[in-house]
Amino acid sequence: MKIAVIGTGYVGLVTGVALSEIGHQVTCIDIDPNKVAELNQGIPTIYEPGLGEMMLRNQSAHRLFFTDQHEKGLDGAEVIYIAVGTPQRADGSANLQYVEQAARDIANNIRKSVIVVIKSTVPVGTNLHIKKIMNANTRPGIQVRIASNPEFLREGSAIHDTFRGDRIIIGAEDRETADVLEEINAPFGIPVLKTDLSSSEMIKYASNAFLATKISFINEIANLCEKLGADVEEVSRGMGLDHRIGMSFLRAGIGYGGSCFPKDTNALVQLAGNHHHEFNLLKSVIEVNNHQQRVLVEKMVARFGSLKGKRVAVLGLAFKPNTDDLRESPALVIIPKLVELGAEVITYDPIAANQGPRWINAPAAYTKNIAKALKDADCAVIVTDWPDIKRMEPETFAYFMKTPIVFDGRNCYSIAAVRKARIEYYSVGRPDVVPEVIR
């Protein structure tokens, strides 16, 4: 099938490449000519393991194309996906201006009836709103059918999630439209749930809100475990063995970040408020997460008293491993606070180090060399559980650092391994490790 995808951000690029991989002819459209030029050279504009190889394979097979011209990209398309950003407004609501502009661009350039699929995360009611915009701008005789097909991709695991996901949600006004989308997605071999537009839109928000709730819940349990002498990892394991609860998203740490959970939880609270419903549970989830991002700094102040003049190695900038995305990363909270408290900060990230100066509004040094970050540091703070950090022997801290004092926001190491390494170690929801010689 001939498909167009508007937007080559995270969702749009992964969607376009994946659809070409299963045999469709896909043209991805973006208004940024520089980005399109890179993509046409086979250079992915986001970091996602496996994406570059898949992109090149389908470009070589003449199934995947990129353009900054809507007329060219939409020519002959039978199905058009909207996958542009819906950034958060100051009040927490979703900004739909890019989705609305995409709708107008489609309406002004199509020459035949099409199905328009909204892949972007949008509030309930948006699909019908977008359909009205397109109907008001299309040529006479052209019919636009609208559908909702939310994405459930984890950054860093998007290729896996696309081809081995749990479900595909299709929301439509009529069975024929839903059947066409089911046929498009059939090669993925993933179970399909067909529903109405509003339910499809809500499924996306409800899913992310529930996962965020699990994260904030286990972090509150972790903070209580520290006061009571329990180990949150043992607690999580015991909880997760109950199949009604499950192990996923029960890892204590310094909170969630990224482009989805913070934005979607805030948007759902705002959406509820617009309909006179106080979503108190979700408000608490957000409040807990905001505090959790400051937990390590509080532990550092409690340990040192003053951070003035301390050389602090911050390990990890991205909000999670296998991505260069810093959106809502705890690093954006932690680093400026450390600088405010007088610390000298040097950061390490194997992928996102180059993104740091653009995102972090505080003086800090950036490196992709972990040894350079740790050398002569007074303490280290683990923000992102990159595989190379988790694989590193705890003794490495003692080898490079001035004083091997580690604040681990991702619980990367076992307590037993840390005790053996004889470093001073503070994690989340577990006992502190302070060698006898220090005491």
- CA distances to 129, 216, 280, 307, 343 from 410, rounded to whole Å, are 42, 14, 27, 22, 21
| Residue 258 marked as a ligand binder | no
| Residue 250 marked as a ligand binder | yes
In angstroms, how far is the first alpha carbon of the chain from the final one? 69
Three-state SS for the chain is CEEEEECCCHHHHHHHHHHHHCCCEEEEECCCHHHHHHHHCCCCCCCCCCHHHHHHHHHHCCCEEEECCHHHHHCCCCEEEECCCCCECCCCCECCHHHHHHHHHHHHHCCCCEEEEECCCCCCCHHHHHHHHHHHHCCCCCCEEEEECCCCCCCCCHHHHHHCCCCEEEEECCHHHHHHHHHHHHHHCCCEEEECHHHHHHHHHHHHHHHHHHHHHHHHHHHHHHHHCCCHHHHHHHHHCCCCCCCCCCCCCCCCCCCCHHHHHHHHHHHHHHCCCCCHHHHHHHHHHHHHCCHHHHHHHHHHCCCCCCEEEEECCCCCCCCCCCCCCCHHHHHHHHHHCCCEEEEECCCCHHHHHHHCCCCCEEECCHHHHHCCCCEEEECCCCHHHHHCCCHHHHHHCCCCEEEECCCCCCHHHHHHHCCEEECCCCCCECCCCCC
Round to whole Å and give the CA distance between 211 and 302: 31
Round to whole Å and give the CA distance between 413 and 411: 6
Cβ atoms 326, 355 nearer than 8 A: yes
| Residue 320 marked as a ligand binder | yes
CA angle, 173 as apex, 170 and 176 as ends, to 5°? 75
| Residue 63 marked as a ligand binder | no
Round to whole Å and give the CA distance between 237 and 217: 14
| Residue 152 marked as a ligand binder | yes
Superfamily of domain 293-426: NAD(P)-binding Rossmann-like Domain (3.40.50.720)
Which residues, listed in sequence order, are joined to residue 169 by a DSSP beta bridge? Answer: 193
The pLDDT of residue 436: 74
Q: How many CB atoms lie within 10 A of CB 361?
A: 10
Domain 204-290 has CATH 1.10.1040.10: yes
What are the domain boundaries of the chain?
Answer: 2-195, 204-290, 293-426
Q: How many CB atoms lie within 10 A of CB 432?
A: 13
The pLDDT of residue 438: 55
pLDDT tens digits along 39-74: 999 999 999 999 999 999 999 999 999 999 999 999
Catalytic residues: 260
| Residue 189 marked as a ligand binder | no
The phi and psi torsions of 67 (rounded to 5 degrees) equal -155, 160
Residues of the chain with pLDDT under 50: 439
Classify domain 2-195 at the CATH class level.
Answer: alpha beta
Round to whole Å and give the CA distance between 121 and 172: 16
| Residue 119 marked as a ligand binder | no
| Residue 308 marked as a ligand binder | no
The pLDDT of residue 437: 57
The pLDDT of residue 246: 96
**Overall residue count recorded for the chain in this entry:** 439
- The amino acid that residue 97 corresponds to is Q
| Residue 396 marked as a ligand binder | no
Which residues, listed in sequence order, are joined to residue 379 by a DSSP beta bridge? Answer: 312
The pLDDT of residue 259: 86
The pLDDT of residue 101: 97
Decide: residue 313, CB within 10 A, 0-12 exposed, 13-18 middle, 19+ buried: buried
Phi-psi region of 92 (alpha: psi -120 to 50; beta: other; left: phi over 0): left
Judge if 204-290 and 293-426 fold alike in CATH terms. Answer: no
Nearest to 6 by CA among 88, 118, 115: 118
| Residue 390 marked as a ligand binder | no
- CA distances to 60, 81, 124 from 42, rounded to whole Å, are 9, 21, 36
For helices 261-274 and 280-292, angle between their N-to-C axes, nearest 10 degrees: 150
Cβ atoms 99, 120 nearer than 8 A: yes
